Structure formats: C-alpha cells, structure tokens
A and B are shown apart, each in its own frame.
Chain A
C-alpha cells in the first residue's frame, strides 16, 4: 500500500511535466491522457531499480520521448494528418484578443506561434526533442544526453541544426505569407 501511495505521489509531482512535454512533442492534445498513463506505467515497472530523484526524472524524460516516438509512428502508419496545436478548440482562449493589447498585434503573435508550432513538428524527431527539452524544459546538455542516450556533442549539433532549420522554415513561411496576397491580385 505504501508503495502505491508513493507512486501516486511520483505521478502527481511529475504529471504536469509529462503532459506538457508530450503535448509539445506530439503537437496535439489527442490521446494525451492515454500517452501520459503509458509513461507512468512504464516508469512503475522500472521504479524499483532507481535511486535518487534526478535519475527518475531523466528516465521519465526518456520514457516520454519513447512514447512520443511511438505515437509519431502510429500516426504515420494510419497516415493521419497531425492536428495542429493552434487549430484545436481548446486553444481558442489563448487566441482571444486581450483587452489591453492591440488586436492586430495579438493576431500576428498568434499566427507566429502557429507557424513555430507547425514548423517544429516538421523537424526530425531528434531535433524536435532536443529543442523542446532544452528550451521548454530547461534541461542541460548533459541531462538531455542522458535522457536520449547520446553524446553531449551530438546534442549540441542537433540543437544548433534544429534552431537553424526552424528559423529558416518559419522565415520561409512568413515570406510566402507576405507574397500570397500579391499572387491573388495578379
């Protein structure tokens, strides 16, 4: 009983991190609860072998990445298009105009957010994972390397390459967006 209670505590302490990382990695809220459950059940199986809080967190990130990868494969197999984070109704409240800010400014910001999220999903799995763990989760190179079982140098390379690709792609989409109305006019 004591084990179950402490496991429930582990789940409670880490659930927010697991949900938000899965959400950013999969780009959708769809099945997120099932995926999070899978993460914690996998953790439970491995829990007796762990000592120390940091190791559990590192292992938890590894499981989250593996579960997200399985989800990408499953989606690829079923050939279902990804549901954009910004298209989901649950995000509508984020897109509503804030009373203190200019509506146009807010719309532009929402569009930019959408572009970043969409282009993030277009990156390779490892680049996306490294970007999310480094920027969103504020993990160090060493922690990411431990979670992904890769050398630190490789993590740095993926981070640099991922940022560069993301910047280029978002810029390209922004340029296309500016050109599109001109093409309609012609």
Chain B
C-alpha cells in the first residue's frame, strides 16, 4: 500500500487518529510526571513526627488516669458466686434422684469455673 493511494478522506481520518493518539499520550505523560516535592518536605519532618508519638501516648495515659475505674461487674460476679454456692448446698440436701444430682453437678461446675476465672482476674490485676 502506497501513500499516494490514500484518498483525502482517508488521510484526514489517519491524521485524526494520530492526533488523538498523540493527545492521549500527552495526557498520560502528564499523569505519569512525578512532582518534585523535595523542597516542600522539611529536613526534620521524620524526626518531628516521631517526636509527636510519645507525647500523644502521655496525653492518652493522662486521659485514662482521669477516668475513675469502677468494678461493678466484678462485684456482681462475686455476689452471683455466693448465690451459686448457696444453691449448690441447697441442691445437695435434696433427694438423690438423677435430676437433682445432675442439677447439683452443673451448679458445682459453674461455681468452680467462675471461681477460677475471678481468682485469675484478681491475681492479674494485683
């Protein structure tokens, strides 16, 4: 295929396609251009940011200390444990049927599990 074989319309279409392609390439090149921001970054930027981290930690620790810690849930657990103990003792005084033995065993297991959990928790909190 020779250049002189192309009609005027074909040449125009070819030119249009090439122009569009060049336009796209320019936009892509512009998007791919990495802006140089070396001058915008302060020399001590990294040190400044790192220095802010402990300061923030102290601030949050102070905020935490300002909030009074309550142990309502823990008190409720101890009270529940006492009630469970009474129920276990009460169940052991009943008849020796399979049902009462099962209930007693269940209550005892529950009591033991809660007692161990609470003891561990109190020990960790010191």
Binding site for B on A (CB under 8 A): 4-5, 7-9, 11-12, 15-16, 19-20, 23-24, 29, 32-33, 36-37, 40-41, 44, 85, 90, 112-113, 116-117, 120, 131-132, 135-136, 163, 166-167, 170-171
- List the B side residues contacting A8 at CB < 8 Å: 46-47, 49-50
Q: Which of B26, B39, B45, B56 contacts A112 (CB 8 A)?
A: B26
User: In the bound complex, do residue B49 and residue A41 qualify as a contact, i.e. CB atoms below 8 Å apart?
Assistant: yes
User: In the bound complex, do residue A41 and residue B56 qualify as a contact, i.e. CB atoms below 8 Å apart?
Assistant: yes
Closest 10 CB pairs of A and B: A135-B31, A8-B50, A11-B46, A12-B46, A116-B30, A19-B37, A40-B49, A135-B32, A8-B46, A11-B49
- Given that A8-B46, A8-B47, A36-B45 are known contacts, is A167 also in contact with B40, CB under 8 Å in the complex? no
Q: Which residue of B is nearest A37, CB measured?
A: B49
- List the A side residues contacting B42 at CB < 8 Å: 33
- Given that A19-B41, A33-B45, A36-B45 are known contacts, is A113 also in contact with B52, CB under 8 Å in the complex? no
Q: Which of B18-75 contact A (CB under 8 A)?
A: 23-24, 26-28, 30-35, 37-42, 45-50, 52-54, 56
- Given that A11-B46, A16-B41, A41-B49 are known contacts, is A113 also in contact with B30, CB under 8 Å in the complex? yes
The dominant DSSP class at the A interface is helix
- List the B side residues contacting A167 at CB < 8 Å: 23-24, 27
User: In the bound complex, do residue A116 and residue B31 qualify as a contact, i.e. CB atoms below 8 Å apart?
Assistant: yes
Q: Which of B23, B28, B35, B50 contacts A4 (CB 8 A)?
A: B50
Binding site for A on B (CB under 8 A): 23-24, 26-28, 30-35, 37-42, 45-50, 52-54, 56
User: In the bound complex, do residue B40 and residue A19 qualify as a contact, i.e. CB atoms below 8 Å apart?
Assistant: yes
Inter-chain contact total with CB atoms closer than 8 Å: 82
CA distance A84 to B52 in the complex (A): 31
User: In the bound complex, do residue A24 and residue B45 qualify as a contact, i.e. CB atoms below 8 Å apart?
Assistant: no
- List the B side residues contacting A44 at CB < 8 Å: 53
The dominant DSSP class at the B interface is helix
Known: A8-B50, A20-B34, A33-B45. 8 other contacts (CB 8 A): A7-B50, A11-B50, A16-B41, A23-B37, A23-B40, A33-B42, A132-B31, A171-B23
CA distance A7 to B50 in the complex (A): 7
User: In the bound complex, do residue B30 and residue A112 qualify as a contact, i.e. CB atoms below 8 Å apart?
Assistant: yes
User: In the bound complex, do residue A24 and residue B35 qualify as a contact, i.e. CB atoms below 8 Å apart?
Assistant: yes
What are 6 A-B pairs at a CB distance below 8 A?
A: A11-B50, A32-B37, A33-B45, A41-B53, A113-B30, A167-B24
- Given that A4-B53, A7-B50, A171-B23 are known contacts, is A90 also in contact with B40, CB under 8 Å in the complex? yes
With both chains docked as a complex, state the minimum distance between the C-beta of B30 and any C-beta of chain A, in angstroms. 4
CA distance A112 to B31 in the complex (A): 12
With both chains docked as a complex, state the minimum distance between the C-beta of A27 and any C-beta of chain B, in angstroms. 11
CA distance A150 to B28 in the complex (A): 23
With both chains docked as a complex, state the minimum distance between the C-beta of A77 and any C-beta of chain B, in angstroms. 25
